[in-house]
Each structure stands twice: as structure tokens, then as C-alpha cells.
Amino acid sequence: MAEILVGIIQGLVIILLSPLITGIMRKTKARTQKRMGARLLQPYYDILKLIKKDEVISDQSSWIFRICPWVNFVALAAAAFFIPLFLTYSPFGLAGDLLLVIGLFALARFFTMLASLDVASSFGGLGSSREMMYSALLEPALFLTIFIVALTYGGTNLSTLVTEVSSATLLPHPQLIFAAIAMFVLVLGETGRLPFDNPSTHLELTMVHEAMILEYSGKSLALIEWSQAIKLLILLVLVVNIFVPWGISSSITIPALGIGFVSLFAKISILAIFIAYFESSIAKWRLFRIPDLVAVAIASSMIGIILYYIK
Amino acid sequence: MVSTQLSILTISGSILIIATFSVVARRGFIDWLNAYRHQSIVLAGVTAIIGYITGIWEIYIAAALTLIVKSIIIPKVLTYVTRRLEIEFKTETNPYVSLRTSVIISALLVGLSYFLTQQIPFKSDPVVNVLLPVSMAQFFIGLFVLVNRRTVLSQVVGLLIIENGLFLFTMVLTHGVSLIIEIGIFVDILVGIVISSILLFRMGRTFDSLDVTNIENLRDD
Amino acid sequence: MDSVFSNLTILLLFLTPVASTGLVTLFRKKRIIGVITICSALLILVQVFVIVSRIISEKTITAFGNMFYIDSLSTIILLSISIVGFVSALYSKNYMGRQYDHGTVDDKHLVRYYQGFNVFLLTMLVIPTANSMGIMWVALEATTLVSVLLIMLYYKENAIEAAWKYLIIATVGLSFALIGTVFFYYANINAGSADDAMNWTSMVHNSKLFNPNLIKIAFIFILVGYGTKAGLAPMHTWLPDAHSEAPTPVSAVLSGVLLNCAFYVIIRFHIISSNAIGPEFSNQLLIIFAVISVGIAAASLYFQKDMKRMLAFSSVEHMGLISLGIGFGGLLGVYGALLQIINHAIAKPLMFFASGTISQKYETKAMSKIKGIIKIMPVTGVLFLIGGLALVGMPPFNIFLSEFFILSSGFQSGQFLATSLVILFLIVTFAVFLRHLIKMIFGNPVVPMKKDDMGKLAIIPMMILGALVLILGVFVPQQLQTLVQNASTIINHGGFA
């Protein structure tokens, strides 16, 4: 019973905490650019405000456009329940496979791309074609990275994975360093962070994700923004729990869970701040240079696999 | 051998590979030099650890020399020489094989070097197992950078990487050749870099460019 | 007592060029520095003759513990270094003097040239005397650096290009060689040697215990690495550029001696590897590289327009022949190869000197613009012809003898394919080289010029070399014969004198 409860809490924490992480990243970026920036809780206010607003839907659009935000939100929120957060396993772990999580991401992305094509605005088409290119490029790197992790810890089930990770010593797996490098690039690409896409503007011709959701407003926009935040947090949690699982709790006792939560929150915040800082220090890359970066991720994960087999 | 030592060696090996890759994946000369500097610092650390493990005092001197010559003097010399060059000489805009392909090729080279070291009959020693492939990978990637790039500066960087690979190779396999020879090798590198700097300087003045295609006059056809 | 004498011998041998460099730096006067260099080169020659006589009676000299080790094989290289060094120093005086008058070089360059020349001699002297393979490597890398400095003496585009290619290719090649050397060192450590594991004597001593697979890989690295420096094809690409752009006396030293020095190291490793895994493996490799070298040289000679580049490709050919002789093995083949080392070291500088004088006179290196040498410079023309005939292997000149030995040993050892291929290539070389030569020597000059042999100091070194070419073609002096025979025994019998 307690397990189920903790599992539900884990999922809810991800869903509820995600706008805060987005807020932290925006604040960090603002500060590194010598701006004050909005409050940390601003994403929550945004979402509340958007929910209250009226929605404008193009009369050229079909049902796909209308259900897309819901599919997005449901898929990502469902994924949130499979992620071990501050407990080494998720009670819904039987279904909680890494590949399933990635499949849910792909579902959400697929619907976003369809919806952006649906309204027949030219930006939507641009955005979805770019998004397709990115996902096609990132796919091999993503799977190579998953291979490394799965090979090292024996399986893609997230719960067993994180349990294994938390009990292993860190150092004897050099392949994980390379997997982490690849994973970092992947996180940037999957969540549309800076060298791939600029998340803080919908006024650039080179935008990708923002171009796809340009037609949304009101409640739908709120859902999409929120699911983006959830996706970001899920990926950050995965990075943290797979590569630096220090402090995660393996038993259901209040102090252990508390420590787990606090350490997780600290690690996530540090990672988020690091990404934001990293974003401030670089500019968006030309679309055709992006494969260079993806090539680094692929190469890095290839080396990781080599290292695994050699040892 | 203590397992933490081995772990540190493993991690440093990974860092060496990463630093080598950042030469392959980046375009600017300053970036390359920084990567080389970081690599050399890690290399000095690895050397010192090997010295600690084996207890041979000469290795500490080699480590100190690495730190001084490779991470301080050589980058200084090269920055000094290239300071007055225009910026377009310092970036590699047009390699023979595109950057993304070269990154993938370099990864394959890493694989190749692991494969090769398994073919050669070495005594089974944890240090050799961990670091010898890394040194071979540095050697191969250095060669690849050398032939793949068009600017003369990147050829120098390629040579430097090859040299680091060689140093690691000798250090790992035989715990360094004797000190006199080691110092001789260091002097050779240093003089070589100075000479190539003079050549670079003259080349910049004579050809107004540092592209290798300019230096293909001498051929037989 | 005896070891003190040996130490002194080695010390003096190295001190001479060092002192000469110091004096050159000190005086910086155009007249004096040339004479200083000539004197020091002469002194080296005399010392080498002393060493030769000692080696003939004592077989080996070791000095400073085991750091230096000279046997008959090293003496052959020492002999070629000292002879070529001396005549080049002699020729430099005239050649560089003319360049100075012509305004190509100034006082600063002259000082730099003579400093470089002396240091170059020093680094080359270290190679055959050192016992440690590591020191040989360091010295060989040092020769690269010094000769790069000598090549880039002129601020010409081509010189810079040649220097750059030479620096990069030779350094990369030598890095392969270092890997090979470390493999041998590793094998020696595993065979139980401790402090002196890098020493050649220790390697030879333990060579039966080496791991065969390791030695195979190591020898490939060695052959590719030092082969680059020795000008074996297909790693020879730096050679024509460097040889054609260097100042002529330096070209002579590069071609006549430096290539030999690099090949000498290969021979040393060849001995070890023959001991460890039997001679077949390294012999086959040497023969393959040799045939490729001779073939590529033959093909490239046909297209040459530049006189010095033609000579450079002829060097590739002769290095190929030397490698062929060592690869065929047997007493005859090795004897021929070692004789070829000396003969080539005599004939090639002669050709370079002659071509240097000629190109100064005609103010070009393009063969199409050089006609009627014999009418304008009779003495130089005759010497040029003698050297050319010797290089293509005409009897009664010296190279004929050694080439004959090498090729007949090829038939003896049953390598019919390689031998007949090489003979075919040699015929092509013969025809092409002679055609180029005759076109330059005979006929009428394009522009009428004054008859002038460009001064005594240019002629004397060529005369010396021309006389040696003739003498060695007719008979080989007893001492040299003993030396070469001893050296062949060393190669054929696993390294012991």
C-alpha cells in the first residue's frame, strides 16, 4: 500500500515540480545575461493564466489539432509514473521500461508534428520537418546510449536499472562517462535546448518547437507547455538517476525518502542551472551544423560500447 | 594494485580520449590548443600515477617535464607565433572529410586500437589493459587529423597528439625508456615545435595563407 | 687503460664538431668559418681512419660503460659520414661563397649554415656510435630538425614547402619507428634484461627469447618508420623535395649519408629480428620495399625536368638496391649491399657537387635549359659524366661491382622474380638517366657563355670523389675488404663480430 502511495507521489511530484525546474532554468539564464528575469514560480502563473483564457482554434483544423495537447499531456504524465525518482524503484515498475518511456515521448512528438501540419500554416510545416530531421538524427545516438546503460546494468527496465546503479560503485564503468556525454547532447536535442533550438522565442525563422505550436492558445497551449516541462524534468531525472545516483533511497522510510528527495532536488537543480548556463554561453547553430553535434553523441556512445565489450 | 588507482587511471584514459575528440570535433586553433593543454595535464597526472604505482622516481621527472613542456611551453610558443596571424588561418573551414564524418571515423579508430592491442601479445597488466588502447587511439586519431585537415596549423596539432600518444605508449608499456632518452625526446619535440613555428611564420609571410594547397608546387608531373 | 683510450676516441670524435660549431659562432667571419669547418671535417676523417684501423684489429670498441658501441658495421657508416662530410665542407666554401657573391645569402645566413652543417655532422656521428636504440632514435630525429633548418636557409617558397613536408613526413615516420623501438625494448624487458634493455648488444644477446609475434609487428613499424627516413618507396615523397631545395653540399650529405644512417638502424633491427624469428620475415619485407623503390624511382626518373630531383630519385633507387642486397642475404648479397653503401656515398655527392656547380653557372636547375656542359666546363663535365655512368652501374666504375654482387646473390638465393623485376627497372633507369645526362653534357649551349670551371675549390672535392669512384671500381683496398667482410659476418651471424 505504502509502495503504491509512494509511486503515486513520485509521479505527482514530477508533474507538479516540472514548471519550477523550467522556472529555475529561465531565472539562471536571465541572471547570466545580466537581467533580473521573472520569478521562479512564473511558469505556474503562466499556466494558470493560460488555462483561464479563451481558446482560438482555426476552422481549417481537424480533430487532430484539438486532441494533440491532451495526447501530449497524458503520454508524458503517464511516463512520469514509471520513473524512479527518489526511490530506487517505481511501484509501477513492471511496465516501466526505458523503451516504453521513449515510446511515449515519440507518441507525443508524433502528435505534435501531425497537429502542426494539420492547420496548414507555413510555420507549422517548417517546424515539423525540422523536428523530424532532429528526431531521425537523434534516434541512433539515443539507442546506442540506451544499449550502453542496458548492457552495463543488465536490462532496460527502469526500476531494476536504477536499483543496480545505486548499488554499484561508480568508477569501474568508464563507458558510462561516454554514455553521459551522449546523453547530455540528447537531452539538449530532445528538449529543444540551445544549440538545437531556442526555447525562449517564437519570433525566429529558425525556430523548431515553437513553430509547431504557434497556432495554439489558451488551455491547449498551457497543456503543451506543461508537458514540455514534464519531459524536460523526466530526462533530467533519468540523467541524474542513471549516472549520479548518490543519495537515492532504497527503502520506504520517511528519513530515507526525505534524503532521497532533497538530494535529487539539489542534483536536478544543479544540472538545470548548468544547462541554462551552458545555453547562455553558446549561440544557436545553423541547422546543417547540428549533425556535427549529433555525430559527437553517436561517436561517444560508440566508444562507450567498445569500452563495454573490451573490458 | 589498488582499485581506486585503477579507477582513476580509467577515468583519466577516458578524459584523454575526450580531449583528443575535442580536437577532431572543433574548428578553431585556440580550441585545439586548449584541448591539447588539458590532455597534457591529464597525461602528466597519469604519468605521475604510474610513477607512484611502479615506484620508479624517473617517471616523476618525466611527469614534471610533461607538465612544463607540453602544457605550458608548447601552447605558449604556438600562441605567441600565431598571435599575429589573421583569424581565417586559424580555423579549419574545409577539411577533406567533414567534421561529423571525422568524428565517427575517429570513434571507429578508437575501436580499431582496442582491437589491435588485443591482437598483440602483451603481458596482462591492468595499467596496460586500460591505457595502451588509449595511447594507440591518440596515435591513430593524430594521424587522421594530420592527413584530413587543410590548414598547416592543424597538422602541427596532429603531430602533437601523435606525440602525446607515443609518450603514453612508452610510459604504459615499458614505464618509460631511460631518463636520458626521455629527455632527448622532449628536447626533440620542443625544438621541432620551435622550428615548425618559424616555418609557420615564414609561410604566413610568403604565401599569405596557411592552406596546404599552397604548398603543392613541388611535384612530378 | 684501454677503455680510457676508447672513451677518449669517442669524446674527441664528438668534441670536434662541437668545438667547430663554437668557433663558427665565435668568429662569424665569412673567410674563417669555412676554413674552420673544413679543418674539423678533416679532423673527423682522420679520427675515423684511426677507428677503422682499430676496428680491423680489435673488431669492437665500447666506450663509457656500454653507452657507445662500434663494430665493423658502424665503421662503414662512420667512414661514409666522414668522407662525405669532408668533401662537402670543402665544396661548401666555394659554393656558399658564390651564393654570397650572388646575393642569395648574407653573413647571417652563412654563419647559420656553417653552424647547422657542423651540428648536422655531430648528430649523424652519434647514430652509428650509439649502442642504445633510443639514442639512435633521438639522434635521427635531431638530424631531421637540423637538416630542416639547413633546407630553409633560403627564404624561397619552394624551400619552405620542402622543409615543411620533410619535417612533417619525417617526424610522423619516426614516430612509427619509436613505437617499433619500444616494442623491441618491451620484448627485451620481458626476456629478462633490466638496465640496459635499450642497448643493441643486450637485445642481440636476448633475441632468442623474444616473443615472435611481437617482433613481427615491431619490425613492420621499424621498417615503415626508419624506411621513411631512409627514402624507401612509397614513403619517399619528402626526399626529392628536400634534396632538390637544400643547398647543394647539404643535398650531398642528405643523400650520401643521412639515408645510410637511417638504413643502418634498420639493419641493426634486422639482425635482432633475424635472430628472434629467423631471417625470412624481414628479408621478404626488405625485398618488397626494395623492388617498389627501384620501380618507382625508374618510373619517376623518366618524367624529371629538374636536375637535382633526378639525382634524388636516383638515391631512392640506390637505397632500394641496398635494401635488396640485405634482403637477399647470404655473404654475397650483404657484402654487395655494404659496398653499395660506400659506393653510393661516393658517387652521389660527386653528382650533386657537379650539378651544383653547373646550376650556378647556368643559373637554372631545369635540364631542358642546360646544354653543352663539356664545352663550357670541361673538367666538371667529365666528372659529371663519370659520376653519372657510375650511378647507372656502368663498368668499370665502383657501383657496377656492388650491383653485380647484389643481383647475382639474388639469383643464388632463388629470388628470381624480384631479381628479374629489379633488373628490368635498372635497364629502364639506365636508359632514362643516360638520356638526360647526354642531353645536358653534349650539344651546344643555349646561350653562349664564357668557358670557366668555377674555381679550384669546386673542382678539388669532385676530383677526390671521381678518383675514388675509379679506384674502387677497379680494386677494393684490403682494409676496406676486411671491414666489409667483417660487417657482413656480423649481419649473417646474428650480430657478433
CA distance A181 to chain B (A): 10
The Cα–Cα gap between C486 and C335 comes to 9
Tell me whether residue B221 is in a domain. Answer: no
How would you label C392-410 residue by residue, b for 16+ Cβ within 10 Å and e otherwise?
A: bbeeebbbbbbbebbbebb
Phi-psi region of A284 (alpha: psi -120 to 50; beta: other; left: phi over 0): beta
Give C179's contacts in chain B (Cβ within 8 Å).
139, 166, 169
Give B111's contacts in chain A (Cβ within 8 Å).
302-303, 306
Q: Find all residues with CB under 8 Å of B86, minimum gap 6, and list them.
A: none
Q: Find all residues with CB under 8 Å of C243, minimum gap 6, and list them.
A: C251, C254, C255, C308, C309, C311, C312, C315
Three-class DSSP category at A184: helix
At A3, list the grid cell: 509502495
CA angle at A201 for the pair A199 and A207, rounded to the nearest 5°: 75
The Cα–Cα gap between C359 and C366 comes to 9
**Tens digit of each residue's pLDDT (9 = 90 or more) over C250-269:** 999 999 999 999 999 999 99
The Cα–Cα gap between C54 and A52 comes to 106
Task: List the single residue in B with minimal CA-CA distance to A291.
Answer: B100
What are the helix (H) ranges across chain A? 2-32, 42-52, 63-80, 98-118, 122-153, 158-167, 174-190, 209-212, 218-243, 254-281, 290-310
- The shortest CB-CB distance from B188 to any of C141, C217, C244 is to C141
Give B99's contacts in chain A (Cβ within 8 Å).
292, 295
Whether residue C134 and residue B177 make contact (CB cut-off 8 A), yes or no, is yes
What mean pLDDT is predicted for residues A76-82?
A: 89
What mean pLDDT is predicted for residues A246-262?
A: 82
Phi-psi region of B79 (alpha: psi -120 to 50; beta: other; left: phi over 0): alpha
The Cα–Cα gap between B170 and B148 comes to 26
Q: Using an 8 Å Cβ cutoff, are A136 and A196 in contact?
A: no
Percent of chain C clearing pLDDT 90 (strictly above): 62
Q: What is the pLDDT of residue B179?
A: 81
Q: Using an 8 Å Cβ cutoff, are B144 and B105 in contact?
A: yes
Whether residue C161 and residue B215 make contact (CB cut-off 8 A), yes or no, is yes
Whether residue C189 and residue B174 make contact (CB cut-off 8 A), yes or no, is yes
Q: Using an 8 Å Cβ cutoff, are C182 and C203 in contact?
A: no
CA distance C263 to chain B (A): 20
Task: List the single residue in A with minimal CA-CA distance to B15.
Answer: A177
Cβ count within 10 A of residue C53:
11
Instruction: Give the number of C-alpha atoms closer than 13 A to the C-alpha of residue B87, restricted to the C-beta side.
Output: 3
Q: Using an 8 Å Cβ cutoff, are C155 and B206 in contact?
A: yes
Whether residue A174 and residue B11 make contact (CB cut-off 8 A), yes or no, is yes
Tell me whether residue B36 is in a domain. Answer: yes
Whether residue A302 and residue B108 make contact (CB cut-off 8 A), yes or no, is yes
- Is residue A194 scored above 80 in pLDDT? yes
Predicted TM-score of the model (pTM): 0.88
Residue A116, domain extent: 2-310
- Backbone φ, ψ for residue C388 (5° rounding): -65, -45
**Tens digit of each residue's pLDDT (9 = 90 or more) over C355-397:** 999 988 888 888 888 888 888 888 899 999 999 999 998 888 9
Q: What is the pLDDT of residue C51?
A: 92
Three-class DSSP category at C60: coil
CA dihedral sign, ordered B92, B93, B94, B97? positive
- Provide residues of A within 8 Å CB-CB of chain B: 171-172, 174, 177-178, 181, 291-292, 294-296, 298-300, 302-303, 306-307, 310
From the candidates B2, B3, B5, B10, which should be mutated to test the interface with A, based on the most A CB atoms within 10 A? B10
What is the maximum span of chain A, computed from C-alpha positions, in angstroms? 60
- Backbone φ, ψ for residue C62 (5° rounding): -120, 145
How would you label C448-480 residue by residue, b for 16+ Cβ within 10 Å and e otherwise?
A: eeeeebbeebbbebbebbbebbeebbeebeeeb
**Tens digit of each residue's pLDDT (9 = 90 or more) over B75-115:** 998 888 888 776 666 777 777 888 888 888 999 999 899 88
* pLDDT tier for residue C1 given thresholds of 50, 70 and 90: very low
From the candidates C135, C156, C175, which should be mutated to test the interface with B, based on the most B CB atoms within 10 A? C175
Domain count, chain B: 1
The Cα–Cα gap between B94 and A9 comes to 54
Q: What is the pLDDT of residue A309?
A: 78
* pLDDT tier for residue B22 given thresholds of 50, 70 and 90: confident
The Cα–Cα gap between C242 and C229 comes to 12
CA dihedral sign, ordered A231, A235, A241, A242? positive
Residue spans per domain, chain C: 133-492
Instruction: ipTM value, please give it.
Output: 0.92
Three-class DSSP category at C226: helix
Whether residue A296 and residue B21 make contact (CB cut-off 8 A), yes or no, is yes
Kindly tell me the burial class for residue C192, based on how many C-beta atoms sit within 10 Å of its own C-beta (0-12, 13-18, 19 or more): exposed
Domain count, chain A: 1
Whether residue C213 and residue B120 make contact (CB cut-off 8 A), yes or no, is yes
The Cα–Cα gap between C497 and C486 comes to 7
Residue B70, domain extent: 3-213
